[in-house]
């Protein structure tokens, strides 16, 4: 499967009469976005605000972040199975508005939504302090059930991202990157002397607002499966979860998965990137055993020499991570894990809730328990009403002047366990 990804670089975002890109500036029609969101009667009020790098702005509680993209050619449309019909994607050409995002925020869904600072010392921990953000602030209908509210917010964000993405349909991209993965036998024969490497992509699927969707299907009902990496770039996987903010894999992170990007860069140079194995993170032991057994079997069947495994969340999913590591290793496949750590605020406790001897190669994305200080901001998009009940917050976190003391994990993507962050740990 071959995909051309056209990157249209956005340097600024402004309100305008038309939603369009002019000389690197994205103009958005505020009223059209609001009307689009209010098509869903589960949302009774919506607003649109802009947040740019360096501004004294705090965004909270953040539900999802999405990069606007549009399918220019090839089969299917963006976000199949959610806002478009189910049709295989990952081929043809897609245009991405790079440097801008759609952020959904507003009244909290669960307790595991976080915040983004656009400036100040806390801004360095999230990649979204460096993007030009179209913030969609939503208010649910009175008494709306929590899962319905999450679904309404999820769909609203995807619809707005697709609407804005259309502004890039007929533009000439600043850069075109070609990604291609051939059918398995062709792929192996293309570089027969290079090690065959795969990526095991663990999807959050524990339920109770911990959900991820594959072509519109809730991942917790799936069994492990193989997919072309390019499908992910067209929105075949989207976030629907309220997992801890620091390692929440937003839809943006699925579209811009750094493991996939780096494996493609090295494909044909020092490795042969075979593709992605999707598996879920389960609650019950029997389901964990089943999925890890099937994941290891897929690695063996594909003849992989090595894999990279990433997880989403921490605690319970650490067991899925270690089961996958152990069983894949026992098939004779080398394993490297990418994850974040939660060893307590002093860093002296066990970093992961589970461990196996086979987990001897691990990349850390940082410690989510570290306490940091957030200075007050001139403007809040959304509300700070729920800071003390968010993961990372606690009683007394929010100060009278608007400053916050909280654990690092309250920041969206600060320790995200696929490496799209700025933290790491050095072993001695």
Catalytic residues: 242
CB atoms within 10 A of CB 370: 19
What is residue 155's three-state secondary structure?
helix
The phi and psi torsions of 279 (rounded to 5 degrees) equal -145, 165
Please report which helix (H) or strand (E) contains residue 381, including its range: strand 379-382
Count Cα atoms within 13 angstroms, Cβ side, for 365: 27
Question: 328-332: which pairs have CB atoms within 8 A and are 24 or more residues apart?
Answer: 328/200, 328/295, 328/296, 328/299, 329/358, 330/296, 330/358, 331/296, 331/297, 331/299, 331/300, 332/300
Range list of β-strands (E), 141-265:
175-180, 196-204, 212-214, 217-218, 225-227, 237-239
Q: What tokens does 205 get?
A: 């699927």
Largest CA distance in the chain: 64
């Amino acid at each position: 499967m071959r995909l051309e990804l056209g990157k249209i670089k956005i340097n600024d975002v402004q309100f305008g009469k038309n939603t369009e890109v002019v000389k690197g500036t994205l103009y958005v029609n505020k009223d059209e976005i609001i009307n689009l969101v209010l098509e869903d009667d589960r949302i009774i009020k919506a607003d649109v605000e802009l947040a740019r790098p360096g501004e004294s702005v705090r965004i909270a509680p953040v539900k999802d972040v999405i990069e606007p993209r549009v399918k220019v050619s090839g089969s299917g449309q963006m976000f199949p199975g959610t806002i478009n019909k189910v049709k295989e994607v990952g081929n043809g050409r897609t245009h991405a508005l790079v440097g801008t995002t759609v952020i959904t925020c507003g009244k909290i869904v669960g307790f595991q939504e976080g915040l983004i600072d656009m400036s100040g010392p806390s801004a360095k921990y999230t990649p979204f302090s460096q993007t030009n953000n179209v913030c969609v602030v939503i208010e649910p209908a009175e008494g709306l059930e929590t899962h319905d509210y999450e679904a309404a917010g999820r769909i609203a964000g995807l619809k707005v991202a697709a609407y804005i993405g259309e502004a890039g349909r007929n533009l000439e991209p600043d850069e075109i990157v070609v990604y291609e993965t051939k059918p398995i036998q062709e792929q192996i024969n293309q570089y027969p002397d290079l090690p065959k490497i795969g990526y095991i992509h663990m999807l959050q699927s524990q339920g109770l607002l911990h959900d991820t969707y594959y072509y519109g299907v809730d991942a917790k009902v799936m069994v492990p499966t193989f997919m072309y990496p390019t499908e992910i770039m067209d929105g075949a996987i989207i976030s629907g979860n309220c997992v801890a903010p620091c390692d929440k894999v937003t839809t943006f992170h699925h579209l811009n998965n750094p493991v996939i990007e780096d494996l493609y860069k090295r494909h044909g140079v020092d490795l042969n990137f075979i593709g992605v194995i999707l598996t879920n993170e389960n609650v019950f032991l029997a389901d964990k055993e089943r999925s890890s057994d099937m994941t290891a079997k897929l690695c063996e069947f594909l003849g992989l020499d090595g894999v990279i495994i990433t997880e989403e969340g921490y605690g319970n999913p650490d067991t899925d991570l270690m089961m996958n590591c152990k069983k894949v290793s026992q098939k004779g496949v080398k394993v490297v894990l990418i994850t974040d750590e939660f060893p307590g605020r002093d860093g002296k406790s066990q970093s992961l809730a589970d461990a196996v001897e086979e987990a001897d190669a691990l990349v850390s994305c940082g410690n989510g328990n570290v306490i940091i200080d957030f200075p007050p901001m001139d403007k809040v998009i959304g509300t700070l009403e729920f800071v003390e009940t968010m993961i990372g917050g606690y009683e007394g976190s929010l100060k009278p002047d608007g400053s916050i003391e909280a654990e690092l994990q309250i920041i969206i993507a600060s320790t995200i366990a696929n490496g799209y962050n700025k933290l790491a740990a050095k072993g001695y």
